[in-house]
């Protein structure tokens, strides 16, 4: 009967066996398997680059489209842009904004926000109010460090929102009538009209 080559016992020379024993012994005393297992960890340790930002000593570079704290804006002559139309209040999905508007004294066709409140504890920073404003009176700043201990500090009134706008947008736009002299625009006062009789 012919011998099956797969059943043949492999015979190794004594030298070969000693070499294998020696290799095993070296691996044992050098913790070779553990080192292989730790290879990824050791590679990371040797090429260590910290990715944690050491806030507040280091601050992230914000994208241009970052939507931070809201602000009310002024024109370059210091007058408020807001005409008290309430559109931002209507557009806000979280009912953050409350506008109480009134007529400008002696200018019956002109209105302004007599009072303006924002409850920033409810704000989603969605930007819908900014988009809804017809005169660009609202802006989203890049301010985000608004953590407070008392939530009531986040109920902002008009002077506070204007102050945020003043520091966040030092370069102001010209008045609409100076920007677009031939275009119909909001907030035009017709001083020749008689005042409203109340
Ligand atoms: S950003 Fe959105 S949630 Fe915040 S006040 Fe404006 S519309 Fe409301
Ligand atoms: S939409 Fe603009 S102009 Fe109208 S109340 Fe709001 S901030 Fe003022």
**Residue ID of nearest Cα to ligand 2 atom 3:** 82
Cα separation values, 162 from 44, 69, 71, 159, Å = 49, 12, 6, 5
Residue 187 burial (CB < 10 Å; 0-12/13-18/19+)? buried
pLDDT tens string 8-50: 556 668 888 899 999 999 999 988 989 898 998 888 888 888 8
Closest of 94, 73, 68 to residue 146, by C-alpha: 68
Taking the CA atoms of residue 132, residue 135, residue 137 and residue 139 in that order, the dihedral angle to the nearest 10 degrees is: 60
Element (H, E) at 39: helix 39-46
User: Is residue 92 within 6 Å of ligand 2 at its C-beta?
Assistant: no
The pLDDT value given to residue 2:
61
The pLDDT value given to residue 80:
93
Give residue limits of the domains in the chain: 13-46, 70-179
Rounded to an integer, what distance in angstroms lies between the CA atom of residue 138 and that of residue 179?
18
Q: The whole model's pTM is what?
A: 0.71
Architecture of domain 70-179: 2-Layer Sandwich (3.30)
Best residue among 70, 129, 130, 154 to mutate for probing ligand 1, ranked by most atoms within 8 Å of CB: 129
Cα of 123 to ligand 1 centre, how many Å? 5
Rounded to an integer, what distance in angstroms lies between the CA atom of residue 136 and that of residue 128?
12
**Residue ID of nearest Cα to ligand 2 atom 2:** 133
Query: What average pLDDT does the segment 2-13 reach?
Result: 63
- 75 in Cβ contact with 88 (< 8 Å): no
């Amino acid at each position: 009967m012919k011998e099956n080559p797969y059943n043949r016992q492999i015979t190794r020379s004594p030298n070969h066996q000693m070499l294998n024993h020696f290799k095993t012994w070296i691996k044992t005393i050098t913790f070779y398997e553990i080192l292989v297992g730790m290879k990824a960890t050791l590679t990371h340790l040797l090429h260590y680059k910290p990715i944690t930002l050491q806030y507040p000593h280091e601050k992230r570079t914000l994208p241009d489209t970052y939507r931070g704290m809201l602000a009310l804006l002024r024109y370059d002559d210091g007058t408020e842009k807001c005409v008290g139309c309430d559109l931002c209040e209507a557009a806000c999905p979280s009912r953050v904004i409350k506008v109480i508007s009134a007529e400008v004294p002696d200018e019956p066709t002109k209105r302004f926000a007599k009072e303006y409140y924002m409850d920033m504890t409810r704000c989603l920073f969605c930007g819908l109010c900014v988009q809804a404003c017809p005169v660009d009176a609202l802006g989203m700043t890049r301010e985000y460090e608004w953590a407070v201990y008392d939530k009531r500090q986040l109920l902002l009134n008009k002077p506070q929102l204007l102050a945020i706008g003043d520091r966040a947008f030092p370069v102001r736009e010209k008045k609409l009538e100076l920007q677009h002299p031939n275009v119909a625009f909001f907030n035009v006062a017709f001083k020749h009209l008689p005042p409203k009789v109340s």
